[in-house]
Structure 1
């Protein structure tokens, strides 16, 4: 034997050549690692930028909070707001003579005007909506106009503003305005102002600030083409968006591996700053480097494959012959003879395959005979199963009838049980529809010993299907379920209807349908798996015919319908 062409040497040569594959795998791993590190680096960079933007926003919110706290720092402001609540500034109202409202109004206007123009944040106006007698009034100081202006608003406007602040007590609430970014606009700070001494609510203080400082902080964050930056307030209103960011994209990105979502909650305002990063954008940025890695890997793979084909050509023909022989065995052609030329190792494999095919052919014939006998035994065993609890209850019923002297009813019941066991003990694996329904009647009559008039039943056997042969004991398990599971805990009466019919199919064939209907409690079929009894029925149906099956439709509180379907494409009569 030429060891240079032995099977072992060829396998070793193939192994050495195939070591190129780990090299290719290493190249692929490096490219993926490079992409991953680039993504992690960009995530860290954006996380830092997000924190910086959040810090700048929190500083802006803190400054507005300081302005909104003014009524608690200056007595004149708090007193003026009290008089606004009492309606003393309303047209036609004469305030008490001892109140110096003119001086208080001047102090109120000057202080808030100074705060308007001294704030680094672009504060546009400060408005106060009083409660009480002054409800419906709006006292505002605007950056572009002088003095304190007085306008009327609806009560609903005041109630709407109050609905935003009431969950937060005296804390400040920040709200974005719809379309604020498009109009270059503003956002609001709302705070419920209370009297420092009495704790009574005086009204709503509203500070409107421009968003330019917010936009300046967030515009510094560079967003890639398919990424986005989204700022929303507590109500979900979009205050700022950049790139492709929308609430829909944020919801989509939360469960997608194509995006990385970084969230930051602005503690002072309760707003949400979300950065949506597109993984594809980062991959595009590293595509050139990854492309070089893949090109090198592809060239290495092609070179290795060419060398493999060149050096293993002599073994390929023999291996193909052996593989073809294996496929023949898989397809059931056990008499196929494998022939190879040259290497003795391959010849030994071919001889072993030929011997295996011959032994498998003999074994399959033996196994087929054994399985036929086993299937017959399994079928007889499956059809002989009956619920022992039922038998226990029937015998107890016989004892009770005997003690009560119900001799005639006892004799009738014993005859029902005798017919029941004669039917079960019959070794036939099939029966007729009429006999199967008669067996169900015997079973129901015995159940009526226990439940009496709580069980009523109707049996309708179509004469056209009465003599059709079916598997034994496929109806009784469903009848038993009607009683065991269909009756309420308080034994509410139940009606059971047994029906049979033939249905003509579109292909010209016919299907026998055995229907069992009850008016019981019903159940949720999706959450209740079939029990042992119904599994038994399915096994016997599949042994009888591979396409025989049953269907269950049940509605809680309305009852259950079972349909057993047997195709009439075999001899069943």
Structure 2
């Protein structure tokens, strides 16, 4: 069984929680924002760099492929071997092309027996290696037009040859293979493409062998990318580290560019920030605990005092007096409550001296308005709003105070429509505290109606009936609308709702009851308003009611167009 917690303690805890929650949420948002921005930047920088590097490498390769094809299509092997001047022209064109490039390559020409006719490479060992690679891969490019990029070399040891791209184009004349030309692009020369980043960049072939890297951090002892990173993209965890990987395939070759960024630093900073937030929340909770306890004790004492007084009124004790020592709206409520009880006692004393019909209208009208149940329910709502939404609680207290003050001002029987309408809007706002989004209110009041004189407190009972009887099982949202207009010296005020409506038999009973001298039903508010209007202005004025099941109810107040003296 759950241990019962006092309202005072519950309010204290709620104040602490609600004081800390905005700060805590803000800090969490900052941390999450930091994490999001950090990883978005990592994602963006990684992918942009990988894509740019891919495009740069493809651009370099494409230029060499184009020149290889050009030379292969233009060169005459026999003339190249036998004509020195022709050979010089071909070689000069090759050197001019190479010298224009930021990333240099070596050029080779072979005859049909794959003997090397010319090479820009000076190393004999390198020449032999290239010839060996060409001879061993002859079947890959034998057919005309099948020039390819071939990768060879590097296994990570000091004595192994440097990995390279071989761009090979067979030379074919009259459907006969007469030779081939080749560019060798050493991958160590690609530093110009991959040197502007803080991330690890790996150039990997289809066997996962690393043929170029700016760091050996993610390369195993077999010179391959570590197993956990192969064919991976995005965020991954590796040995307690958070890693982000971008991967793009390079056209013209079975090669992939990996850009790898270590995100562990950002993760550690985020964890530290979260721990700091928790520590600050604990310190703040301790700091405000004392003040929250004092506040909850003071406010709950006033609310319990009001509730106790209302319960006594419900039991018929009208000689009580509230003495609330507070500098806020609660003091105004206590004062209004005492004045209301004084007015009730005064009305009771005058009860026997009033005419029977007038007495019934006034007393029943008051019973249908701010009886203790209404005040009790409203204060109960304020009690919980103090915990969950102090701003709405404050506004509700102000509205209740003004309603009570308005209801006990008995110096006048009629007021301007604007004053009566403001009273109704405050009543609606209190009802919205109870019903929330289920209750919607609209109005359409022209300026000429706002200055018309109307009996005091005649619209609120109609609105109360609309809210009380309009809701039903199938009504999720109740719309209440007040509209008014003038015509032929009369004022027509309409209160309309789209609720469950009134059954036909009950509607007939209500219409008949409005014509009776005395109220013969339990429906007090509508009858009181009708009789008050008749007593003040005559039988041609009063209340009209129309309703249809499941479509709503419409109540029309018909009044003379009278302006208050001096207006």
Q: TM-score, normalised by structure 1?
A: 0.40
Larger C-alpha radius of gyration, 1 or 2? 2
Query: TM-score by structure 2 length?
Result: 0.40
